[in-house]
Chain A
Amino acid sequence: MAISLDKMNQPQDVVYEQFEDLGQQQETYVLGMWAFLVTEVMFFGIMFLAYTIYRWKYQPYFYALHQELDWKIGGLNTFILLMSSFSVALAVHFHQRKMKMPVLLCLGFTNLCALAFLVIKLLFEYIPKWNKGHYPGPGFSWDSTYIPANIAQLWYSLYFGTTGLHALHVVIGIILFSVLMFLIAKDHPIISDYLPTEMLGLYWHFVDLVWIFLYPLYYLMPK
């Protein structure tokens, strides 16, 4: 398996048998991806709905509880995701111009950012909270006199549920990006044009999009 890094060594843009021409194929793929993203919006919509209902009900407690989260760590992660989103946009840009090395570099940087996001989240948020017993379930330990333990558990349920679902998307993204990079590096025929990068890019921007709302609502909760 020889990997050449200089230029996109691709066949002519391939049109699959069910399509008439390349334009139709590309538009169909983008539309299909957006239809999928609609389902993703509804997916996270439920989590935001539950958050809104319970925060509205328990606002004073939730406001006090949100101070348990470190806005600096969250801010760092926000910036990391923003950078990764930017570099994916660049990857699509370079793939459209068929520049192989920059595409791989951009995707690699995105993957690095995604990994950094997960590592920061685990090391500075999930693991310390786990050690303190601040996770919903039978092992939950809580000793505040001001905030009832059950509401704290509800808050942590929402926090772990929402950020966990988001982190799951990040993990899936890392796997997909790695596969995509491998296929591009190998000049695999399945990567016949820039659309795989574009579609994965759309997915990744959506992951960033969710975090854009998660960050102010969880880490910088308005009073």
Chain B
Amino acid sequence: MSGIPPTEHVETEEKNYLQEGHTIASWLLTKDHKRIAVLYLISVSFFFFIGSIAAMLIRLELTSPRGTLITSETYNKAFTAHGVVMIFFFLIVAIPAVFGNFLIPLMIGARDLAFPRLNLLSWYFYMAGGMMFLVAMMTGGVDTGWTFYTPMSSIYSNGQVTLTLVAAFITGFSSIFTGINFIATIHKMRAPGMTWWRLPLYVWSHYATSVIIILGTPVIAITLLLVVFERVAKIGIFSPELGGDPVLFQHMFWFYSHPAVYIMVLPGMGVISELMGCFSRNKVFGYQFVAMSSMGIAALGFVVWGHHMFVSSQSMYQGIVFSFLSFLVAIPSAIKVFNWSLTMYKGSVWLASPMIYALGFIGLFTVGGLTGLYLASAGTDVHVTGTYFVVAHFHYVMVGGTLLAFLGALHFWWPKMFGRMYPEGVAKWNAMLVFVGFNLTFLPQFVVGYLGMPRRYHYYYFAPEFQVYHVMSTLGASVLAVSLLVPGAYLTWSLKNGPKAPANPWGAKGLEWEAAASPPIKHNFAGIPVVMGDVYDYDAEAEELAYRGLPPREESK
């Protein structure tokens, strides 16, 4: 994005957004998208911490085949809490609500999102839902699993199912509001010259995500509401007693929840596109294909939900169709992976900490995606359904994908958000530790799952030979836990003590780096920038020559 008129670069004396007010009310009643993003960052980190504690409880329990630490009931509540918190309160919100909120107006050259009040409201809905779930957890917990299958959830389960469902329902509205906001903003508020084909891929993937959110989230909202009514008022849409079909719940649930997987991973893919471009100093290979593959994933994601139901009583003919359609999703995902890899080719690769997270993402997402093909083919899936193979698969995509992208984004845009640099050396080593810890946790789960360890079991005395895999997994989880606490520590430390960040510490292209200060002022830009060049306008060759201390190449023409 060269060609921003130099007049727009004038360093102003204006206060940045963090200095606009210091009272608590100035944060809680703010309409500034950047402050709302910071609010989201704090709350999302809090819920991630809660979810991690539940995860550690699960891992500790599974070190022994006899299940000696906690009872079966507590174990069920622990994995439900882990699933619900991580999915509804971390993965779905993490990247869109934190970095999407912060960056989309900055990247497209707008002063704010289209509907700032709606944006603030969405945070309050999120917090209301989250608090409601915490109350549910403290007053008895839920043991249905995050999938809330009927009739378990509607008739038999005794926990705080109703409260949890209402919490998820309310949180759904929070993401609907975010989605509406993004769509209106991206369509209508781009700076002059910012055409669709000049949008950063990050914005493209958030656009695709927002479309999924507004099309899918209402479906889960009303489905969960129907379960609430079935529990409270004995209305019988899913009740087999009344002639209803419990499998209909699974259909409706996965009609949202499979696309929700893409709500979780597409923003992460957008982050990786940015990181790959910046740290390879290269134009992202096949820009238009990567942009369109986001839209392709969004559309295809809606017609594959049946692959979660191969062993439910859905018709096997439908299973065949869904198996075929599920394979199709591999195409746009592979386009992305190939194009990211090719972006590095003939680039000037800089292994900064965000780049290490991005490289980790590509490797782990590929493993997660390829094992997904095992699960998409109906025959193989029958063998591994409900085993740790599935658990490992979606953790490779969700943790290896979204969490690594979240950490990469956090490191990449931290100087922009808070105007401070973090200690790069520690960050680099820690990024590698995350990768090691992650693989140590979830690689054994593929093996033990394929050997037949069922998920959601809190003991396995029938197969004590599985213990070695579980112990390895728990060990890895401990490494992972440490490597996730470390960034929390040094990032917090850098808020006060880190060296002041320049406007563009990475030498990256993009409006948020080139036209805005670090941290940005309240209205982002001194004036609305005019975009005149293409996106990712890097010159890898010149960078590489400068790095090697060689003179720049003569213009041959």
For B248, give its contact among A43, A50, A150, A165 (CB under 8 Å): A50
B114 contacts A32, CB within 8 Å? yes
List chain A residues, Cβ under 8 A from B179: 35
B189 contacts A36, CB within 8 Å? no
Residues from 410 to 466 in B contacting A, C-beta threshold 8 Å: none
| 0/1 interface trace, chain A 10-39, chain B, CB 8 Å (1 if under) | 000000011110001001110110011011
| Chain B nearest Cβ from A166, distance in angstroms | 12
Contacts A27-B188, A35-B183, A150-B241; A43 near B218 (Cβ below 8 A): yes
* B292 at the binding interface (Cβ < 8 Å): no
* A122 at the binding interface (Cβ < 8 Å): no
For B112, give its contact among A17, A43, A153 (CB under 8 Å): A17
* B221 at the binding interface (Cβ < 8 Å): yes
* A137 at the binding interface (Cβ < 8 Å): yes
* A160 at the binding interface (Cβ < 8 Å): yes
Contacts A32-B115, A38-B215, A42-B218; A50 near B237 (Cβ below 8 A): yes
Which of B143-151, B227-235, B392-400, B483-491 participates in binding chain A?
A: B227-235
Bound complex: CA A81 to CA B16 (Å): 51
A161 contacts B188, CB within 8 Å? no
| Chain B nearest Cβ from A208, distance in angstroms | 19
| Chain B nearest Cβ from A83, distance in angstroms | 28
Bound complex: CA A45 to CA B223 (Å): 11
| Chain B nearest Cβ from A38, distance in angstroms | 5
Bound complex: CA A43 to CA B225 (Å): 11
| Chain A nearest Cβ from B117, distance in angstroms | 10
A161 contacts B237, CB within 8 Å? yes
Bound complex: CA A50 to CA B230 (Å): 14
Chain A residue, CB-CB nearest to B223: A46
* B106 at the binding interface (Cβ < 8 Å): no
* A2 at the binding interface (Cβ < 8 Å): no
Chain A residue, CB-CB nearest to B210: A35
| Chain A nearest Cβ from B45, distance in angstroms | 28
* B219 at the binding interface (Cβ < 8 Å): yes
For A31, give its contact among B111, B188, B523 (CB under 8 Å): B188
* A157 at the binding interface (Cβ < 8 Å): yes
Chain B residue, CB-CB nearest to A53: B248
Q: In the complex, which of the residues B105, B188, B221 has the most CB atoms of chain A within 10 Å of its own CB atom? A: B188
A39 contacts B236, CB within 8 Å? no
Residues from 36 to 71 in A contacting B, C-beta threshold 8 Å: 36, 38-40, 42-43, 45-47, 49-50, 53-54, 57-58
Chain A interface, number of residues (Cβ within 8 angstroms): 39
* B170 at the binding interface (Cβ < 8 Å): no
Bound complex: CA A161 to CA B221 (Å): 14
| Chain B nearest Cβ from A158, distance in angstroms | 7
* B226 at the binding interface (Cβ < 8 Å): yes
B114 contacts A28, CB within 8 Å? yes
Bound complex: CA A29 to CA B116 (Å): 12
Contacts A28-B114, A39-B217; A157 near B183 (Cβ below 8 A): no
Bound complex: CA A164 to CA B321 (Å): 36
Bound complex: CA A148 to CA B236 (Å): 14
Q: In the complex, which of the residues B118, B184, B219, B245 has the most CB atoms of chain A within 10 Å of its own CB atom? A: B184
| 0/1 interface trace, chain B 42-74, chain A, CB 8 Å (1 if under) | 000000000000000000000000000000000
* B181 at the binding interface (Cβ < 8 Å): yes
B114 contacts A154, CB within 8 Å? no
B244 contacts A54, CB within 8 Å? yes
Chain B interface, number of residues (Cβ within 8 angstroms): 45
Bound complex: CA A40 to CA B217 (Å): 10
A36 contacts B180, CB within 8 Å? yes
* B528 at the binding interface (Cβ < 8 Å): yes
List chain B residues, Cβ under 8 A from A161: 226, 229, 235, 237
B243 contacts A154, CB within 8 Å? yes
For B218, give its contact among A29, A40, A137 (CB under 8 Å): A40
A138 contacts B234, CB within 8 Å? yes
* B113 at the binding interface (Cβ < 8 Å): yes
Bound complex: CA A148 to CA B243 (Å): 10
| 0/1 interface trace, chain B 235-251, chain A, CB 8 Å (1 if under) | 11101011111001000
* B325 at the binding interface (Cβ < 8 Å): no
B243 contacts A18, CB within 8 Å? no
* B276 at the binding interface (Cβ < 8 Å): no
B116 contacts A18, CB within 8 Å? yes
* A136 at the binding interface (Cβ < 8 Å): yes
* A151 at the binding interface (Cβ < 8 Å): yes
Residues from 104 to 142 in A contacting B, C-beta threshold 8 Å: 136-138
A137 contacts B189, CB within 8 Å? no
B248 contacts A157, CB within 8 Å? no
Bound complex: CA A213 to CA B461 (Å): 57
List chain B residues, Cβ under 8 A from A157: 235-237, 242, 244
List chain B residues, Cβ under 8 A from A154: 236-237, 239, 242-244
B215 contacts A24, CB within 8 Å? no
Chain A residue, CB-CB nearest to B230: A157
A150 contacts B235, CB within 8 Å? no
Bound complex: CA A45 to CA B222 (Å): 10
List chain A residues, Cβ under 8 A from B260: none
B111 contacts A18, CB within 8 Å? yes
List chain A residues, Cβ under 8 A from B528: 20
List chain A residues, Cβ under 8 A from B185: 28
Bound complex: CA A136 to CA B216 (Å): 28
* B304 at the binding interface (Cβ < 8 Å): no
| Chain A nearest Cβ from B241, distance in angstroms | 6
| 0/1 interface trace, chain B 175-210, chain A, CB 8 Å (1 if under) | 010011101110111000000000000000000000
List chain B residues, Cβ under 8 A from A36: 176, 180, 214
Bound complex: CA A46 to CA B220 (Å): 9
For A35, give its contact among B105, B110, B184, B252 (CB under 8 Å): B184
Contacts A18-B114, A150-B242; A137 near B183 (Cβ below 8 A): no
B219 contacts A136, CB within 8 Å? no
| Chain B nearest Cβ from A18, distance in angstroms | 4
List chain B residues, Cβ under 8 A from A24: 188-189
Contacts A32-B115, A50-B237; A58 near B183 (Cβ below 8 A): no
Bound complex: CA A36 to CA B218 (Å): 10
Bound complex: CA A177 to CA B112 (Å): 29
Contacts A31-B188, A35-B183, A42-B215; A153 near B523 (Cβ below 8 A): no
Q: A28-B184, A46-B218 are in contact. List 9 more A-B contacts (CB 8 A).
A: A28-B114, A31-B188, A38-B215, A42-B214, A46-B219, A49-B252, A136-B236, A157-B237, A161-B235
What is the interface of chain A, defined by CB distance below 8 A to chain B? 17-20, 24, 27-29, 31-32, 35-36, 38-40, 42-43, 45-47, 49-50, 53-54, 57-58, 136-138, 148, 150-151, 153-154, 157-158, 160-161, 165
Closest 5 pairs between A and B when the two form their complex, measured CB to CB: A18-B112, A32-B184, A42-B218, A137-B234, A28-B188
27 contacts between A and B (CB under 8 A): A18-B111, A18-B114, A18-B189, A27-B188, A28-B114, A28-B185, A28-B187, A35-B183, A36-B180, A38-B215, A39-B214, A39-B218, A42-B219, A49-B252, A53-B248, A54-B243, A136-B233, A137-B235, A138-B234, A151-B242, A151-B243, A154-B237, A154-B239, A154-B242, A157-B235, A157-B237, A161-B235
